[in-house]
Structure 1
Amino acid sequence: MWFFSSLYKSLYNLPWLRQQKGDHGKAWGYFFLLMFLVVGLTLIPLFVGLPKGVSTIQSKFASDVPSFAADLKGGELVVTELVQPYVVKENEMVLVIDTVTTSPMQLSDYLTTNDTSGILITKDRLEIYNANNQQSRAQLWSGMPDYSITKDQALTALNKFLRWPILILICLGLFILYFIGLSIGRLAFILFWGFVVWLVAIMAKKNWSYREIFNVSLYATTLPLLFTLILSTSGASIRFLSTLLFVGLMVAVIFVKEEKLPEKTIEG
């Protein structure tokens, strides 16, 4: 209850935020619980849709991928049981497999638009083109160890990889990585903009130390962080909004004076 009460008050309660400037340990505890909550809320849709997504991948691979046998030997790849050139276009992605043609092949010949990315597999190389950054990478088969695989073997490996114990480990790893990344990124944000607010407080001759501003910032980051999370779920994005909300709230904490109610006198 303490955490959710603190979360609610950190959104608007300026007097309460001022009172938090002296409790360093409690501020850290709140911050990491907040990061845990935000990461959980962000990844819930992914985790909920995971069973359906896994089932879709397995069924599409079994039904849409034709039978094939790939044999990499002596730096050359040979694909059999597959009509070549094998070309698949879906949305803005194209896959081309041709290990039969002896003349040089160019992936660019299959890229119909500037927004199309592609993968080309030939007997001597793997080529990948990313339309987003307009960069192409190639990997020659020469020097790679001999290897062979069929569709059935690939499907068996895919089913093993998509077992629940492995998926749970993947989800846990993703959660931890996102938690660490978000925490580090938010702390860097707080350290920098908290320093800016501290400089403003010094120039205005306000009696605030940087440590006190940092403590309050660990709470004040709640409003901009949750607002940004809500915007991201709706597909909207306003640049610098998080910064404006954070700085505005911190400036209000330091500069907005509390109104003192007039004392009531009891007439005898």
Structure 2
Amino acid sequence: MSVEVNQLISYLDELLDSNNIKDFCPNGLQIEGCSKINKIVTGVTASEALIDAAIENKADAILVHHGYFWKGESDPITGMKKRRIAKLLKHDINLIAYHLPIDVHFEFGNNIQLAKKLSITNVKPFPGIKPKGIVMQGELPTGTTANKLAKLIKLNLLREPLVNAVRDEDIRTVAWCTGGGQSYIDVVANAGIDAFITGEASEQTIHSSREQNIDFFAAGHHATERYGVQRLGEHLEEQFDLDVSFIDIHNPV
């Protein structure tokens, strides 16, 4: 079965409420390809390696979390950008990207999918931070040590996390933001949360962890953001009877 590109984009825009989320890049259709879609490849980032995989799989569209045309990036279409876009245009492949809308969605978002991976319960958006759901909070089923939580992260995300454990007590409450969310540690610590999980760490993050007595876990930007776009692709496969496959391009960051 196939679906018109405009129909698919309209469906995704409404599903993800993308028009009401202020972002750092355009959400939706970024590069136009063929008018009908039968096969979709999903992935975290629209890298050249993912494009090559989509070409090999004869995909009509690529759906990603990290697309193109970010605020502050260089405008000229040269070098790496030219090679990527040229391949998409040559093979008539649509590039569809949703950034923050995929992070925050309460069913298909990166944050909610990470909670499921780590068996976090009583999940809810952390108050006062926009867009709603960019930082989440919840509880572990039973109190656990930082070492045990690190092992759980490694087991489920297939990546060794960077850990800064500073507390003597078990972890019961946790907050998280997938990807590059390390700057939220201060507001989370101020709320008395036991641990904060994100994808990356900055130099100052460790000092915040130490001085505010909050355990910190950097589980990888890529590793924490695999699951939203993958689950969204599965939904599209069910909704439109499309051929959808997730391709994980390895990235150690």
More helix by share: 1
TM-score (norm 1): 0.22
Q: Whose RCO is larger (CA < 8 A, sep 6+)?
A: 1
Computing the radius of gyration from Cα coordinates, the structure with the larger value is 1
